[in-house]
Amino acid sequence: MCTQAKEAAEVAQTKIKPQPGGLTDHSPRVESLATSDCWEPTAWPIRLDDVTPLEWWRTMPANHLGEGQQRVLGEILDKVSLVKSGQWLSAMRGDAAASIAVVIEAMPVNRITLEVDLIMTALMVCALGGNPGAVLVLAHILHRAPLDHPFAQELSISWLALNFRHARHMQKRPVAVGSKPDGPALENAGPIFHGSMQA
């Protein structure tokens, strides 16, 4: 599994080119918004009920999704039958490395199709499950995908902010004597929702 994630990261580096003002640019505005404790998107104009669950990845900020939505998405993906590769099946079943690899393989996202909705939903399920790599790739894609509304940057930043809050929470957790404070424990840390996240 580690080698798959490493390979996906290497492919990402070759396919994802930094753009001025983009997420990989690390502009001060994006970093300050993503690392702010109190950052929340503005009053959100789209409700969960206004769109289908396969559209949530491109319409809902991270703080509007919780364990309930993660279950709904998991149930939908469990019902999907694919004629694609085994990597697709792994992605649909929640393998974060496979989800990232499938999304990167589909880049650039020039138009939203059912295939894009499926792979991005699989990636979002991994992000909701606490995988930091999935969160970062989701934020990157949201920042660049041709969405049918003007909120791409807010959506992207909502995922970066959630990822940052999760990482800070993990740093503040007391470490048991004899255990390692870093390493793969973050990947298996559980849900990233703490506090007043809507479900």
Per-residue pLDDT at 2 exceeds 50: no
Residue 135: pLDDT band by 50, 70, 90 thresholds? very high
Domain limits of the chain? 52-170
Residue 167: pLDDT band by 50, 70, 90 thresholds? confident
This prediction has a pTM of 0.63
Per-residue pLDDT at 124 exceeds 80: yes
CB 119 within 8 A of CB 91: yes
Residues 72-93 have pLDDT tens digits of 998 888 877 665 678 888 988 8
Per-residue pLDDT at 148 exceeds 50: yes
Q: What's the pLDDT score for residue 41?
A: 52
What is the C-alpha end-to-end distance of the chain, expressed in Å? 31
- pLDDT over 90 percentage in the chain: 36
For 77-102, b/e burial (b = at least 16 CB within 10 A) is beeeeeeeeebbebbbebbbbbbbbb
Backbone angles phi, psi at 66, to 5 degrees: -140, -160
Per-residue pLDDT at 193 exceeds 90: no
Q: What's the pLDDT score for residue 22?
A: 43
DSSP tag of 26? T
Mean pLDDT (whole number) for 126-154: 91
Residue 178: pLDDT band by 50, 70, 90 thresholds? low
Residue 18 CB contacts under 8 Å (≥ 6 apart), including other chains: 24, 25
